[in-house]
Chains A and B, each alone.
Chain A
Amino acid sequence: MADHLVPVALNTDRLPDTPDGRFFRGLLGDFSQGLWVVTPAGKVLGFHYHKARPGDSWAENQKRWAGDTVAMVREALKAAGSLPPRDPKGHADPLAGRGRGATPDGEVRLAVTVVELDRAGRHQGSPVVDSAYLTADRWAAFHPPAGAKVGQTWTVAEDAAGRFAPALSPITDAIFSPRPDDVTKAAATAKLERVGDGYAVVRYAGTWESFHNRDDDPKYPVRTAATGEGVGVVDTKTGKLTAMVWALSGTYRNSPPAHQPRKTAAVVEWSEK
């Protein structure tokens, strides 16, 4: 597929009101989302919208979804006729900054992975792939204060810790996931644990809770809670973090009738390079 088509992933809420944005909006019709193969002139060669079949298991639905998508793309490629392979050299990865580096203004994008676990600790479904964004000010809250000595502790600003909201929900659909404003508790502490050869180690601990109503409807409350531990590595020359990793475990409670607590686990990670 990537060899012959131009792949584009777009958020329907962020399509610009331009001719290009309207080109893609026009594909939607009565659908809120989906997959299309379309020529640049607007001729639709293929379309697939997955609808879960009642009674099918999650795995059965996934299998059917994948099979139907591949079949749609194959048919569309046939309809497109002969296409020379693409050369994607020089293509910029839109997720290049996820979990790595910082923007010129000092914002970092922590890589977030969340899974739901069954009682035996097995993954339930695909992991959620997301990011937590920290402005330079919020990122600074995870750093030791200037002149900090081994054993010194500090509190990570609640506003900064609350940006971990994406790590609280194991559901890929955004309406089931809290935003930072939905976080009702974000208590994180840090301790400068030891100094090594050119680096210092920071230990973190945190507790989070969130509450929001799905689709802003009070009939559908969503609650999460999690605790986490983290480790940061600081370059003693610059005083800057070079790596930070957190492991969280918690619970996710959807609205009734699916309101029984579901076990979650998350990893939040970032490295300088």
Chain B
Amino acid sequence: MRRSALLVLLALPAVAPAAEPVPELAALLKKAGPIRPAARDLAWRQIPWDIDPAVALKAARDEQRPLFVWLAGGRKRDGSPLERC
């Protein structure tokens, strides 16, 4: 849900893994098609996110520009806000 607010900031083509030419795999991918993410579901991946605070701050200082900061968590979980955390 958090991610949806970011989707409007960019709208780029989907990045979808290529299917192997094996009929059984192709058939299951087809069946799973309605569940697999659409282009707009992954548009936020086109944003060049950093997930390391030191790297991001260095970039901002070097380039003398502000940061767009997305902080989430508080659930004692691993990962970054780019996925469920």
What is the CB-to-nearest-CB distance from B51 to chain A, in angstroms, rounded to a whole number? 5
Residues of chain A with a CB closer than 8 A to B60's CB: 6, 39-40
For the complex, count residues of B whose C-beta is within 8 A of A: 64
- Measured CB to CB, the nearest residue on chain B to A11 is B73
Residues of chain A with a CB closer than 8 A to B83's CB: 95, 98, 129-131
Complex Cα distance A74/B43, Å?
19
Complex Cα distance A15/B81, Å?
12
22 contacts between A and B (CB under 8 A): A6-B56, A8-B51, A8-B53, A9-B51, A11-B77, A11-B78, A11-B79, A13-B74, A13-B75, A13-B77, A24-B71, A33-B73, A37-B68, A39-B66, A50-B5, A66-B8, A88-B48, A129-B42, A172-B2, A201-B24, A243-B22, A267-B36
A8:B49 contact, CB within 8 angstroms: yes
Complex Cα distance A258/B42, Å?
29
What is the CB-to-nearest-CB distance from B36 to chain A, in angstroms, rounded to a whole number? 5
Interface residues of A in 105-131 (CB under 8 A from B): 111, 113, 115, 121, 125-131
- Tell me whether A91 and B66 are in contact in the complex, defined as CB-CB below 8 angstroms, given that A24-B71, A66-B5, A125-B1 are known contacts: no
A-contact 0/1 string along B28-54, CB 8 Å cutoff: 110110111100011001111111011
What is the CB-to-nearest-CB distance from A81 to chain B, in angstroms, rounded to a whole number? 10
- Is B14 in the interface zone, CB < 8 Å from A? no
A233:B22 contact, CB within 8 angstroms: yes
Q: How large is the interface on A (under 10, 10 to 19, 20 to 34, 35 or more residues)?
A: 35 or more
A11:B81 contact, CB within 8 angstroms: yes
Number of A-B contacts (CB under 8 A): 259
A76:B66 contact, CB within 8 angstroms: yes
B66:A130 contact, CB within 8 angstroms: no
Complex Cα distance A179/B75, Å?
12
Complex Cα distance A16/B83, Å?
19
B-contact 0/1 string along A13-40, CB 8 Å cutoff: 1111010110110011000111111111
- Is A80 in the interface zone, CB < 8 Å from B? yes
A172:B1 contact, CB within 8 angstroms: yes
B28:A172 contact, CB within 8 angstroms: no
Complex Cα distance A166/B84, Å?
9
Complex Cα distance A271/B17, Å?
7
Complex Cα distance A7/B3, Å?
14
Complex Cα distance A34/B29, Å?
36
A69:B5 contact, CB within 8 angstroms: yes
Residues of chain B with a CB closer than 8 A to A222's CB: none
- Is B7 in the interface zone, CB < 8 Å from A? yes
- Tell me whether A245 and B53 are in contact in the complex, defined as CB-CB below 8 angstroms, given that A5-B68, A6-B60, A6-B66 are known contacts: no
Complex Cα distance A131/B61, Å?
32
Complex Cα distance A109/B1, Å?
23
Q: Which of B8, B34, B70 contacts A70 (CB 8 A)?
A: B8
- Measured CB to CB, the nearest residue on chain A to B75 is A174
